[in-house]
Amino acid sequence: MTRRRGRSGQAGPEAGGAEQGLSSARVDVWLWSVRQVGSRSAATAACRAGHVRVNGEAAKPAQHVGVGDEIRVRVRGFDRRLVVRRILVKRVGAPVARTAYDDVSDPLPSPLDAPAPVLRARGAGRPTKKERRQLDALRGVDRAGGPQSLQAAEDIERLLDRPAPRATEPGTGGRRSS
């Protein structure tokens, strides 16, 4: 016969609140409890894949973190830097979770700052060497490692004014029909 536990009205470790007496916790458990990842298994997988660092060193899932440790976790292609302020081992609500760390990450870049992708006409195939050089000049990349020349700036102007190349018709052997 099993005994049932009654619910106590006190907040504490038994009630699912923050653990008061702990000095450290596993890094995967802590990341899950402060809502940086969706599940414990996702936190463990992130640690195994090398997306989590504790104080600058790659972390294994069972590595312990304490108050004051800096955790870097890779989220959607960007690193988040979190400084542990409170040890949690049970998942808590978002407002409580935010009090368990200080986010000292750099701000995310604006999508407007990202360079526009260079689009090619459908069926145009791979760019020729000349077209690739023109695309590099448009992006401001110099494969030789030297500074961009004035000639490259003029080429960019001509490239922007030129119409897009037409795709070849199927069955013509690469020749364009006139």
Reference 100, options 158, 30, 166, 39; nearest CA is 30
Question: Residue 71: which pLDDT band, with cuts at 50, 70 and 90?
Answer: very high
- The predicted model gives 55-79 an average pLDDT of 92
CB 46 within 8 A of CB 78: no
Higher-pLDDT residue of 24 and 135 is 24
The pLDDT of residue 146 is 52
CA distance 23 to 28: 16
- The predicted model gives 54-58 an average pLDDT of 93
Domains of the chain and CATH, by start: 24-103 (3.10.290.10), 115-164 (no CATH)
pTM to 2 decimal places: 0.56
